[in-house]
């Protein structure tokens, strides 16, 4: 999908608000398509930008929950491979129409991992991500295994995705190989972490953000 791809496999595990903040900070300065793989510090639920907080309290009471910057449904994290993809403004892929972008991204992952893209007969509605396949979500064995949502800012594009593991090979490496021909692995920089901590405290860790709807 990309000729060159930076891949961030962080050494530290973070909570939901920090994960969301890291994606926002990385998107604001992205110069090369960048894939980041999450490590969670504990159980967490993330929910779409447009979903009501009351729904999360009803479905997952007592579980730490964070509103995403992207849309989509409710995702329970812990057993999934959670990742984000940041694409700079000016890249041809960042300017794709959403439907085409999902088809290209999920199709690239499907070629590497197997499965097929959801069609009309598999589409359903519901608040939870993995119980409600959308068109071109990745399906394996009749079940949705990959879904995600996007957000654009200043022409750059953020995709936040969740992949249910269970593949024979290392899914993180397989994901990187599916998306990039030349992968450069790196860790998070100290200034990126510092900036994200500020965004975490101001936005994603605040009730004013998480309970805004």
Among 16, 210, 51, 22, CA closest to 129: 51
Task: Report the C-alpha gap between 190 and 73 in whole angstroms.
Answer: 31
Among 135, 18, 145, 168, CA closest to 79: 145
Task: Report the C-alpha gap between 68 and 161 in whole angstroms.
Answer: 11
Give the tokens for residue 129. 């991500």
Task: Report the C-alpha dihedral over residues 89, 91, 94, 99, rounded to 10 degrees.
Answer: 160
Q: Is the dihedral of CA 192, 194, 196, 198 positive or negative?
A: negative
Going residue by residue through the chain, which has 213 residues, state the pLDDT in tens, using 9 for 90 and above.
Answer: 899 999 998 789 999 999 999 999 999 999 999 999 999 999 999 999 999 999 999 999 999 999 999 998 999 998 889 999 999 999 999 999 999 999 999 999 988 888 888 876 777 777 776 776 778 888 888 888 888 999 999 999 999 999 987 666 787 888 899 999 999 999 999 999 999 999 999 999 999 999 988
- Please return the burial class of 182, using the count of CB atoms within 10 Å of its CB with bins 0-12, 13-18 and 19+: exposed
Q: CB–CB of 128/147 below 8 Å?
A: no
- Residue 129 is predicted with a pLDDT of 65
- Please return the burial class of 112, using the count of CB atoms within 10 Å of its CB with bins 0-12, 13-18 and 19+: middle
- Residue 84 is predicted with a pLDDT of 97
User: Which domains, from first to last, does the chain contain?
Assistant: 2-210 (3.30.930.10)
Among 207, 50, 209, 15, CA closest to 127: 50
Q: How many residues does the chain have?
A: 213
């Amino acid at each position: 999908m990309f000729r060159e791809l930076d891949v961030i496999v962080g050494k530290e595990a973070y909570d939901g608000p920090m994960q969301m903040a890291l994606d926002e900070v990385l998107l604001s300065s992205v110069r090369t398509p960048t894939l980041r793989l999450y490590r969670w510090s504990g159980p967490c639920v993330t929910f779409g930008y447009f979903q009501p907080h009351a729904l999360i309290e009803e479905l997952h009471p007592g579980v730490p929950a964070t509103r995403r910057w992207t849309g989509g449904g409710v995702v329970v994290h812990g057993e999934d491979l959670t990742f984000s993809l940041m694409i700079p403004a000016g890249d041809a892929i960042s300017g794709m129409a959403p439907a085409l972008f999902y088809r290209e991204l999920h199709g690239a992952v499907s070629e590497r991992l197997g499965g097929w893209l959801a069609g009309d007969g598999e589409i359903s509605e519901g608040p939870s991500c993995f119980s409600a396949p959308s068109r071109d979500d990745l399906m394996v064995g009749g079940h949705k295994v990959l879904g995600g949502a996007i957000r654009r800012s200043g022409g750059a594009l953020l995709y936040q995705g969740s992949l249910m593991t269970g593949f024979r090979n290392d899914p993180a490496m397989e994901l990187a190989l599916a998306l990039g021909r030349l992968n450069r692995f790196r860790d998070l920089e100290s200034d990126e972490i510092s900036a994200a901590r500020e965004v975490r405290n101001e936005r994603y860790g605040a009730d004013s953000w998480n309970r805004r709807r």
